[in-house]
Amino acid sequence: MLIKKFLGNAYIVSILGIAAILLVLKNLQFIFAGSPPLLLFLVVIAFAAWRGGLKTGLFSTILCALASAYFLEKPYNTLYITDIGEIVRIALLISVGSICSFIIAQLYNQEKRALHLSMEREEQLKQEIAERNRTLAERDLYLSF
């Protein structure tokens, strides 16, 4: 029960996802010749935006950018980046992550509204059917006399 509640928090799940992707990229850094694909972080950003909305998506975007700047870019273990190309890559991650977060959060909000309207319409139809059945029962009772 506690684990389900713990993993239900979009912030915690996004932090765990970022840590997992960071671990994979850090261990495979020799394959990427010092420029790991930062867009892998978009998976976590998209999930965070879907589960937690725009704020969680933007939180994940910023955390991904900071983590990749600190752990994946030379010089390592500092936020100071000397290569302009790496600065541009991180800026692209932030801009694409922000746009993704915004779009996914909007889609999620529209889906919630559509579901809410659908449930309201279903309840309205149930009430109309119940009213119709009462009217038919009253008519049949009236005609039987």
**Digit-coded pLDDT (tens) for 64-120:** 999 998 888 777 788 888 888 889 999 999 999 999 999 999 998 899 899 999 999
In angstroms, rounded to a whole number, what is the distance separating the alpha carbons of residues 74 and 38? 14
Which pLDDT belongs to residue 128? 93
Which pLDDT belongs to residue 33? 77
Report how far Cα 58 is from the mean position of its chain's Cα atoms.
10
Residue of higher predicted confidence among 79 and 1: 79
Per-residue pLDDT, averaged over 56-67, amounts to: 95
- Structure pTM? 0.75
In angstroms and rounded to an integer, the radius of gyration of the C-alpha atoms of the chain is 26
